[in-house]
Amino acid sequence: MEYYGKSTNKAIGTIELFHRDANDYFTNTGLLRLDLASDYEKESIIEDILNLIISDTYELFECDKIATKAISTAIERIQALRNCAFISTDKCLIGGDGTEYDSYYVLER
């Protein structure tokens, strides 16, 4: 899904959201990938997008939590996540090949 800026009506990024079942903490999770052009990596924009997504995710994706990645240098993204009640977790997402991925924020139902 592409997200369009209000004033430009041009795509500013992409959103991917899917249900994840696995043998780790991130099972039964709506896993959110939000890729924005750097000009739009702003707290208010990210918060607007999250507010559009969160309310329907649990039902649409039959999950009990939503998770998304935010690296420590993504200050505005992290603040937007916190504003929407996401919390940082020290749990790692385990890839199919056993690789551990960190820096996730989670919102539980």
Q: Which residues contact 47 (CB under 8 A, 6 or more apart)?
A: 80, 83, 84
β-pair partners for 32:
17, 68
Quick: pLDDT tens for 85-99: 999 999 999 999 999
Please tell me the pTM assigned to this model.
0.88
Q: Domain span at residue 44?
A: 2-108
What is the spatial distance between Cα 81 and Cα 99, in angstroms, rounded to a whole number? 25
Above pLDDT 70, what percent of the chain? 93
pLDDT-derived band at 102 (thresholds 50, 70, 90) equals very high
Residues 6+ apart with CB under 8 A from 36: 3, 12, 13, 45, 46
Paired strand residues for 68: 32, 105
Tell me how many domains the chain contains. Answer: 1
- CATH number of the domain where residue 8 is located: 3.40.630.30
Which ranges of the chain would DSSP assign to H, the alpha helix? 43-60, 75-83
In the 8-state DSSP scheme, what is residue 3? E
pLDDT of residue 8: 63
Q: What is the pLDDT of residues 14-43, one digit of tens each?
A: 999 999 999 999 999 999 999 999 999 999
